[in-house]
Amino acid sequence: MDEPGRGANPALSRSGGPPPRIERSGAELEVNELINKAYSLTEIGYYQEAVETYDRALRLEPANTWTLARKARALRLLGHYDEGIATVNRALELEPQFGWAWLVKGQLQERQGKLESALASYETATSIMPEDVWVWYNQASALFSLRRLREALQMLERAQEIDPRQESVWAKRGQILRALERYPEALSAYNRAIELSPYYAWAWYGKGLCLKALHRLPEALEAFQEATRLQPDEVWHWYNQAEVLVEMGRYREALPPAEQAAKVAAYHAYSWAKLGQVQRHLEDYQAALAAYDRALQLNPTYAWAINGKGIVLERLGCYDDAFACYRQAAEHAPDDVWHWYNQGNLLVVQERYKEAIPVLEKATQVDPQHARSWARLGNAHRLDGRAGMALVYVDRALKLDPGYAWAWNERGITLESLERTEEAVDAYARAANIEPETALYGYNQVDALRSLRRHAEALAVLDKVLLRNPRYARAGPSKGRFCARLGAQMKRWSLIHVRWS
């Protein structure tokens, strides 16, 4: 928060004695009129004009510490941090016990990234005016940036003792609790901030982030939409709307907020990459490539965008270019498992199994809990002729994710190759039960049952497959032709795996 006592006369928040005496005539009256005008200009966003007006006041009264501190604040809002520091230092040389000037100095130092210095300035301000809520709030802000989260909470508790109805303090509390992954408590804090100030966009946005972390996506979307309604020029509000819609699989609905995010902040690489992701899901690959390229013009080392571009290139069949993107993404962000997984996955698709295996092993080292990497590693070993080793890795994947249908299907194929067909039938059944819409899993179960001469069971499963996938029933006049068609597709489908961004 910029100033203590929001909405009150700022002079009343000044430390070090009673408010200055205001003359109603002469030079002092003109100075006060200029200060008030400059303050109004600052509040409506005319920062340069405000600085010029403060300069006029300072020509009349160069030693007015309030004018100097106010000018420093306007310079901060203008982004002129060094000049702001020089200005507020002049005020503090004249009046070392001017608490609000120390607060302004801390805010300038925080913008410069000098967090320890900012914290020291806030502590000085606190020692001068300990009953001002904003000195505690700003200490909490600096401690949050320093990731000293529990200390930051202590500062906010002191702020709330002074003013338990200050919505900004409640919202900051929500932010810190969210960073501590204490999401239910954080959500309560954000809700309290919104109760106190229903039009507080930042609190709505934080609430949305909390709900997203709790996987309450429809509610998160509503919160982000409300934040956007209240503050439509904030790019992150649009970005997170698009992100939640993508997570819910509502790609067409995600397109307008993704486009708006890129429009609101054309310099925002994250929004261009998110737009590329949405367009990729909509299979508008050329538009997706253009969006990813724009993101990478703005931030050439943005690994997530490089990886996303690779996925598009892979979909377009440009395998060499796609692989180069995945490898580059891994160079920039080696701790992201998907960058290694996508390399290995593409090598398997290209039937380059021996090359894929060490890359997929790297993926399992980067994230030992990543079921897809273990399953794909098993798949690569099977295709390279090592079914026994493959089964170990696939079982590892299923231990991590028992609901992973693709891995159950891969287990079935592997067991069949080991002539353990009875077990394979059970594995295919698990896959088909988890994803009944994937006809391949049911077909594989049918094929295994047929090889065991359990024809009645095979026919019953096939009827289920046709019922769940009527487009295949319409595609041919008989179940025999259906089986032949799926059989021809089996090798291709067995290679299908999710590429992930």
Over the stretch 265-322, which tens digit does the pLDDT of each residue have?
999 999 999 999 999 999 999 999 999 999 999 999 999 999 999 999 999 999 999 9
Report residue 72 CA to chain centroid gap: 33
Please, what is the average pLDDT of the chain?
Answer: 90
Element (H, E) at 211: helix 201-213
For residue 143, the model assigns a pLDDT of 97
For residue 471, the model assigns a pLDDT of 67
Comparing CA positions, the residue from 3, 33, 28, 32 lying closest to residue 99 is 3
Long-range contacts of 20-23 (CB under 8 A, 24+ apart): 20/66
Cβ atoms of 382 and 418 closer than 8 Å: no
Residue 71 domain flag:
yes
pLDDT tens across 438-465, in order?
999 999 999 999 999 999 998 999 888 8
For residue 28, the model assigns a pLDDT of 79
Band the pLDDT of 10: cuts 50, 70, 90. Answer: very low
Q: Cβ neighbours of residue 66 under 8 Å, at least 6 residues apart?
A: 10, 11, 14, 20, 35, 91
Q: Cβ neighbours of residue 245 under 8 Å, at least 6 residues apart?
A: 221, 251, 253, 254, 257
Q: Cβ neighbours of residue 62 under 8 Å, at least 6 residues apart?
A: none
155-179 mean pLDDT: 97
Neighbour count for residue 245 (Cβ, 10 Å): 22
For residue 15, the model assigns a pLDDT of 39
Q: For the domain that residue 92 is a member of, what is the CATH number?
A: 1.25.40.10
| CA dist., res. 61 & res. 68, Å (int) | 10
Band the pLDDT of 499: cuts 50, 70, 90. Answer: very low
Residue type, 221: L
Q: Tokens standing for 290?
A: 């253009």
Comparing CA positions, the residue from 224, 209, 202, 204 lying closest to residue 177 is 209
pLDDT at 473 over 60: no
184-189 mean pLDDT: 98
181-196 mean pLDDT: 98
Q: In this predicted model, which residue has the larger pLDDT, 355 or 29?
A: 355
For residue 6, the model assigns a pLDDT of 32
Comparing CA positions, the residue from 284, 275, 268, 181 lying closest to residue 233 is 268
First to last CA, the chain: 37
| CA dist., res. 388 & res. 33, Å (int) | 85
pLDDT at 7 over 80: no
Integer CA distances (angstroms), 191 to 168, 178, 238, in order: 12, 13, 21
Rank 166-175, 452-461, 475-484 by mean pLDDT and report only the highest: 166-175
Residue 212 has, within 13 A of its CA and on its CB side, a CA count of: 21
Cβ atoms of 16 and 95 closer than 8 Å: yes
Residue 182, by phi and psi: left (phi above 0), alpha (psi -120 to 50) or beta?
Answer: beta
189-194 mean pLDDT: 98
* Total count of domains within the chain: 1
Residue 411 domain flag:
no
Of 15-24, 203-212, 310-319, 322-331, give the lowest mean pLDDT range. 15-24
Integer CA distances (angstroms), 205 to 191, 199, 223, 228, 247, in order: 11, 11, 6, 8, 17
pLDDT at 496 over 50: no
Cβ atoms of 66 and 17 closer than 8 Å: no
Residue 353 domain flag:
no
| CA dist., res. 31 & res. 56, Å (int) | 8
Cβ atoms of 377 and 498 closer than 8 Å: no
Residue 100 domain flag:
yes
Q: What burial letters (b/e) apply to 451-471, b meaning 16+ CB within 10 Å?
A: eeebeeebeebbeebbeebee
For residue 4, the model assigns a pLDDT of 32
| CA dist., res. 23 & res. 93, Å (int) | 25
Residue in the structure block whose two tokens are 């054309």: 266
Share of the chain above pLDDT 90, in %: 84
For residue 483, the model assigns a pLDDT of 56
pLDDT at 479 over 70: no
For residue 468, the model assigns a pLDDT of 82
Which letter does DSSP use for residue 18 in this model? S
Band the pLDDT of 103: cuts 50, 70, 90. Answer: very high
pLDDT at 491 over 80: no
Residue 269 domain flag:
no
468-482 mean pLDDT: 56
Q: Quote the domain boundaries for residue 113.
A: 1-164
pLDDT at 477 over 80: no
Alpha helices per DSSP H over 79-182: 81-94, 99-111, 115-128, 133-145, 149-162, 167-179
| CA dist., res. 492 & res. 401, Å (int) | 24
Residue 170 domain flag:
no
Band the pLDDT of 469: cuts 50, 70, 90. Answer: confident
Q: Tokens standing for 232?
A: 């439509």
Report residue 326 CA to chain centroid gap: 20
Residue 145 domain flag:
yes
Cβ atoms of 78 and 97 closer than 8 Å: no
Residue 138 domain flag:
yes
Cβ atoms of 159 and 139 closer than 8 Å: no
Share of the chain above pLDDT 70, in %: 88
pLDDT tens across 388-442, in order?
999 999 999 999 999 999 999 999 999 999 999 999 999 999 999 999 999 999 9
For residue 30, the model assigns a pLDDT of 87
Band the pLDDT of 57: cuts 50, 70, 90. Answer: very high
pLDDT at 476 over 90: no
Residue 329 has, within 13 A of its CA and on its CB side, a CA count of: 26
Cβ atoms of 167 and 203 closer than 8 Å: yes
For residue 481, the model assigns a pLDDT of 52
